[in-house]
């Protein structure tokens, strides 16, 4: 990775947020994790008070790995829990047990790694609304700072896509998936979790600062296989193949597989799409000052229709999705792209 970082940086650059993810970095041994963090600390030192997140799989997340994370200054843990139902975990191809999650959280807290986020998935084939409510209840009982709730997606090229095509998996109905999302939107705020982004809920002050960089359209680096970056209006995606990524860097080539320069119109439209993901919505004055155009003028007919449908609402300062609009967020956002 150092070869790639050197292509962007001549000297170390202080970061306000760091996020190691894209999978499960904690599959690495404690020694390999230590070597990775030495590299990160050398080139991407964290600013005082900065946020340092690492995605972790409960399975195999051992105390020695936790000790390495703590020593490296990691201060936010994102656990891929997904479900507390053994059958649904098997469907999701997860090997950990529900009890493992509680053990891992206890061990993290013993090491003062208390800023914990749990990722949960709804819409799992065979999952009922009752199952989903029990998963939410168990997650709440563990007292995390942050919860992410994602509807299961079937992306081409994944085993989920293949299993669905072969009728091994039967997706839940759209109505049930809607009920599951509605349940999360009702239950979690009642327990003190603020709904601050379409899929994310947090205790006050525990919102993920790194992800907010994406949603606000700010710049960020991406290092590693499959990593995405956005700098100076240019979006890039690295080669996903680890061997290709290594080979290209060793040859002195760029690890970038795809690159796209966003023209002014596309930047305006993506800012709407990303901004509407945030529950607070988009500051209308800030948007017009930055892009020189009003959001309404991008798609005037669709804008008016969504207001009439009750999917968008204007406040004195912002445009945002309504609660009803969150159920059709993809439809609304696609009109602006």
d(CA 208, CA 70): 18
pLDDT score of 158: 86
Tokens representing 324?
């009803």
Sheet of strand 200-202, all strands in order from the earlier edge strand to the far edge: 15-20, 46-56, 76-82, 116-122, 146-151, 200-202, 194-197
User: In this predicted structure, what is the pLDDT of residue 24?
Assistant: 85
Residue 5, pLDDT score: 96
Q: Where are any strands of DSSP class E within the chain? A: 15-20, 46-56, 76-82, 116-122, 146-151, 194-197, 200-202, 228-231, 234-238, 256-261, 282-283, 312-314, 318-321
pTM of the model: 0.94
pLDDT score of 29? 95
Strand-pairing partners, residue 282, are 319
> 198: closest CA among 325, 19, 54, 316?
325
The domains found in the chain, sorted by start residue, are: 2-214 (3.30.750.200), 219-261 (no CATH), 280-334 (no CATH)
* pLDDT of the chain, 337 residues: tens digit per residue: 899 999 999 999 999 999 999 778 999 999 999 999 999 999 999 999 999 999 999 999 999 999 999 999 999 999 999 999 999 999 999 999 999 999 999 999 999 999 999 999 999 999 999 999 999 999 999 999 999 999 998 988 888 899 999 988 999 999 999 999 999 999 999 999 999 999 999 999 999 999 999 999 999 999 999 999 999 899 999 999 999 999 999 999 999 999 999 999 999 999 999 999 999 999 999 999 999 999 999 999 999 999 999 999 999 999 999 999 999 999 999 999 8
3-class DSSP assignment, residue 215: helix
| DSSP letter (8 states) at residue 26 | G
């Amino acid at each position: 990775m150092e070869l790639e970082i050197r292509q962007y940086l001549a000297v170390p650059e202080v970061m306000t947020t760091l996020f190691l993810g894209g999978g499960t970095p904690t599959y690495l041994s404690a020694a390999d994790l230590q070597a990775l963090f030495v590299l990160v600390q050398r080139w991407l030192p964290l600013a005082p008070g900065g946020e340092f997140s690492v995605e972790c799989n409960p399975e195999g997340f051992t105390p020695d790995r936790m000790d390495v994370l703590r020593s490296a200054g990691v201060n936010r843990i994102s656990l891929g829990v997904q479900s507390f139902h053994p059958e649904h975990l098997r469907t999701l191809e997860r090997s950990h047990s529900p009890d493992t999650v509680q053990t891992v959280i206890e061990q993290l807290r013993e090491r003062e790694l208390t800023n914990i986020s749990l990722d949960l998935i709804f819409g799992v084939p065979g999952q009922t609304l009752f199952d989903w409510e029990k998963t939410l209840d168990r997650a709440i009982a563990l007292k995390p700072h942050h919860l992410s709730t994602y509807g299961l997606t079937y992306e081409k090229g994944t085993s989920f896509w293949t299993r669905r095509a072969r009728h091994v998996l039967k997706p839940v109905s759209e109505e049930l998936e809607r009920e599951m999302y509605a349940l999360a939107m009702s239950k979690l705020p009642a327990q003190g979790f603020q709904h601050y982004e379409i899929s994310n809920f947090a205790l006050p002050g525990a919102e993920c600062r790194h992800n907010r960089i994406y949603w606000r359209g700010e710049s960020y680096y991406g290092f590693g296989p499959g990593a995405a970056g956005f700098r100076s209006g240019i979006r890039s995606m690295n080669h996903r193949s680890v061997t290709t990524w290594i080979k290209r860097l060793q040859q002195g080539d760029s690890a970038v597989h795809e690159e796209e320069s966003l023209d002014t119109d596309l930047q305006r439209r993506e800012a709407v799409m990303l901004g509407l993901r945030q529950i607070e919505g988009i500051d209308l004055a800030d948007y017009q000052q930055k892009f020189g155009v009003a959001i309404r003028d991008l798609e005037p007919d669709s804008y008016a229709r969504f207001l009439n449908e009750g999917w968008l609402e204007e406040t004195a300062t912002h445009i945002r999705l309504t609660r009803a609009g969150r159920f059709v967020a993809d439809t609304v956002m696609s009109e602006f792209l």
